Amino acid sequence: MAKNDLIGGSIWEEYSNKVAELMNNPKHRGRFTQEEADSKGFKLIVADFGAESCGDAVRLYWLVNPNGDIIENAKYESFGCGTAIASSDMMVELCIGKSVDEAVKITNLDVEMALRDSPDIPAVPPQKMHCSVMAYDVIKKAASLYKGVDMASFEQEIIVCECARVSLSTIKEVIRLNDLKTVEDITNYTKAGAFCKSCIKPGGHEDREYYLVDILRETREEMEKDKLLQNANTVFGGGTVAFNDMTIVQKIKAIESIIDENIRPMLVMDGGNIEILDVKDSGSHTDVYIRYLGACSGCASSSTGTLFAIENVLKAKLDNALRVFPV
């Protein structure tokens, strides 16, 4: 049956041919019994998950080989719309042959991307992205049953946009690093809010704990406070904000400032230079990863005298627990 035989108008054109095909001819729809699992020496996992926003639900069946935790076969039963069927069918396709640990890394975006006819054209309209999210969630449910752990153990971040799997920390950091000022900017940089749009502001098809409009406002307010505090300090690390209390972004700016004033001029005079690659908090220390440029990159003292001088200046100006590592 062709797409236009099912749904008329332009809306149907927003669905890929792969989605239409799996709606009509699903490959993995069905169920396994305990007897089938026992006959093969596999463990049967049956996981249920439902989407409160639309009432759709999916039941996932895994036949897992305990030798390597490999998902030897999988099927599903879907209780919902055609998009839920297509998403569930592709989700099962992606699971088969993988270990449980590999399967739990499959995201809703992997499912949606696999359903596309073209890499640049979404497989479903934005309001239907929740179907692939449901497919992602039922994998986590199945893995939690197999491993005997809670589903939450597979989620290390607070997810703001379920459709694009974008975390709260990522959104806040992108706003800060790129000085973003609008929700549209956030969407362009992270894809958060690009699909069902429920995470943009209250009033969408699904209630959320965090909304982009609030995150943007609160982060911009924090940035303004940080700016005022930095301006109030005559020396980084002193005054109102101690170095240890700074955010990573503030620390990078502080380190760059000290390097520009006290270190880079000396290196440039000898035909060299330096760039900061990364700054990480590692317990009681702040680790600065640098790369030497120009003459410094081949200098014998780059790992001894020059390195010690750089580290000592940063310790004296900023914090004694600061460490420098050349990469």
Which strand (E) or helix (H) includes residue 50?
strand 43-50
Active-site residue identified among 95, 131, 199, 296 = 131
Helix ranges, 166-284 (H): 168-178, 183-190, 212-232, 248-258, 264-269
Query: Do 271 and 307 form a contact (C-beta atoms < 8 A)?
Result: no
Residue-wise over 161-192: b if at least 16 C-beta within 10 A, else e?
bbbbbbbbebbbbbbbeeebeebeebbebbeb
Enclosing H/E stretch for 37: helix 34-40
Structure tokens at 86: 């297509």
Instruction: Assess contact for 72 and 80: CB atoms under 8 A.
Output: no
Distance between CA atoms of 213 and 144, rounded to whole angstroms? 33
Sheet holding 285-294, edge to edge: 272-282, 285-294, 322-326
Instruction: Based on the residue annotation, tell me whether 161 is a catalytic residue of this protein.
Output: no
Question: Among this protein's residues, is 196 annotated catalytic?
Answer: no
How would DSSP label each residue in 60-92?
EEEEEETTTTEEEEEEEEEES-HHHHHHHHHHH
Quote the DSSP letter at residue 300: G
Sheet containing 70-79: give its strands across.
Answer: 43-50, 57-65, 70-79
Distance CA 308, CA 173 (A): 31
Q: What is the CA radius of gyration of the chain?
A: 26
DSSP-derived secondary structure letter, 42: P
Question: Which residues are catalytic, by number?
Answer: 54, 131
